[in-house]
């Protein structure tokens, strides 16, 4: 009995298959170690999932290349998926082309970023001479860049002139 199915990221939410939906639910438990509020689904990292007789293949597009989190994400993903009933083996593949952009973050992901206190990335297509960000606490645009190189390669440090709070912003790529 051979069971094969391949789903595209777009079809994931409506997939009728039980194993598939269990796998997807598990994927939403796998967080970005640097932003624990966001799952790899929120970040738009998932390209494709296929389940063939208990072997789950997951294709991901890595976020910021500067982030050292990939091996951690891979291990967390494997650990989590192996807990799913029916999953025997997990293969994770990272696809670098086309590259991930901050445009891939879902609207839910952007909302979670804001709640986490990180300003979602501004539109990457707009080439701005100075990076800008909207304050995640009060929504003010009256903010200034404190330090382009924040705590991680992916984030910058901003200061809100309105509510006087420092906050981080995800750099658009």
Q: Which residues bind Zn ion (CB under 5 A)?
A: 135, 137-138, 140, 160, 162-163
* Of residues 15 and 117, the one with the C-beta less far from Zn ion: 117
Q: Cβ 132 to Zn ion, closest distance in Å?
A: 13
* Of residues 44 and 136, the one with the C-beta less far from Zn ion: 136
Q: Cβ 165 to Zn ion, closest distance in Å?
A: 6
d(CA 156, CA 122): 12
Whole-number Cα distances in Å, 152 to 34, 35, 75, 134, 141: 8, 11, 21, 19, 23
Q: Cβ 32 to Zn ion, closest distance in Å?
A: 24
* Of residues 75 and 162, the one with the C-beta less far from Zn ion: 162
Q: Cβ 142 to Zn ion, closest distance in Å?
A: 8
* Of residues 33 and 117, the one with the C-beta less far from Zn ion: 117
Q: Cβ 143 to Zn ion, closest distance in Å?
A: 7
d(CA 79, CA 58): 13
* Of residues 94 and 137, the one with the C-beta less far from Zn ion: 137
Chain centroid, CA 34 distance in Å? 10
- Kindly state the tokens that stand for 116: 């986490």
Residues 6 or more apart from 93 whose CB is under 8 A from it? 57, 58, 59, 60
CB crowding 103-125: b at 16 or more within 10 Å, else e = ebbeeebbebbbeeebbbbbeee
């Amino acid at each position: 009995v051979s069971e094969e199915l391949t789903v595209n990221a777009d079809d994931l939410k409506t997939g009728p298959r039980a194993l598939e939906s269990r796998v997807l639910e598990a994927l939403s438990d796998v967080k970005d170690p640097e932003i624990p509020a966001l799952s790899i689904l929120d970040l738009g990292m998932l390209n494709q999932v296929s389940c063939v007789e208990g072997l789950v293949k997951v294709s991901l597009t890595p976020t910021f290349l500067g982030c050292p989190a990939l091996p951690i994400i891979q291990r967390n993903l494997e650990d989590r998926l192996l807990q799913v009933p029916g999953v025997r083996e997990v293969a994770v593949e990272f696809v670098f082309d086309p590259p991930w952009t901050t445009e891939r973050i879902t609207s839910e992901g952007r909302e979670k970023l804001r709640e986490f206190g990180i300003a979602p990335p501004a539109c990457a297509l707009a080439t701005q001479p100075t990076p800008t960000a909207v304050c995640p606490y009060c929504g003010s645009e009256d903010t200034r860049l404190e330090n382009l190189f924040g705590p991680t390669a992916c984030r910058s440090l901003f200061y809100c002139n309105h509510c006087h709070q420092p906050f981080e912003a995800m750099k658009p790529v």
